Amino acid sequence: MKIVSLITARGGSKEIPKKNIVNINNKPLIWYSINASLNSSVHETWLSTDSKEIKNIAVECGSKVIMRPDEISTGKSQSEEALLHFADNVDFDILVFIQPTSPFISEKYINEGLDKMDRYDSVFTVTKEHWLPKWDLNIAPIDWETSNRPMRQDKPATYAEAGMFYITTKNNLLTSKLRYSGEIGVVEIPLHDSFQIDSKEDLLLIKRLMQTHND
């Protein structure tokens, strides 16, 4: 049973230039995902990119690299396109698809997900959310009324995708063309480890959190 990870890190990024290799606590962002994978039960750690600069940094961090064709490396390209390209070129049984935007990723979470693959066809990371009143951009309540505001404890908690990683089998990936399918399990990530870097505000928050932790 061959287990591999694939970290997707294309070169283009509009809001944060070179986001995937931005400096976080004196390390490029992709280092955190590569390091967690290398220290987990994964047998091979791979990174998919269209950037030679990212490729060189990934290799220095200890990852194997597969170069991604330009036609599936645009801002509108789906991650599944990179996963299927990888599956067509690399042999494996189980795939851990890692998004490099979660610097608090840990091998313990990856291993917990892999352990669950004995019972599930796919596994992904989540955070638990308790109900809060939400409003749309026209300042209208979403699924509640101001005249009958629910108590938080009366509304069920929900799961939100944490986006840290997704695990599936090669057969399920090729059949469904999706990152998860079949019987699905989850790894619950605590809020303090779930933050992702998708915007400049996220980047500032993560840097402050890491600085506070180091202090």
Kindly list the catalytic residues.
Answer: 149
Structure tokens, 160? 């939100």
Q: Are strands 27-28 and 23-24 parallel, antiparallel or unpaired?
A: antiparallel
Give the chain's end-to-end CA distance (angstroms, integer).
Answer: 42
Q: Are strands 64-67 and 44-49 parallel, antiparallel or unpaired?
A: parallel
Smallest CA-to-CA distance from 101 within 168, 181, 20 is with: 20
Q: How far apart are alpha carbons 97 and 83 in whole angstroms?
A: 8
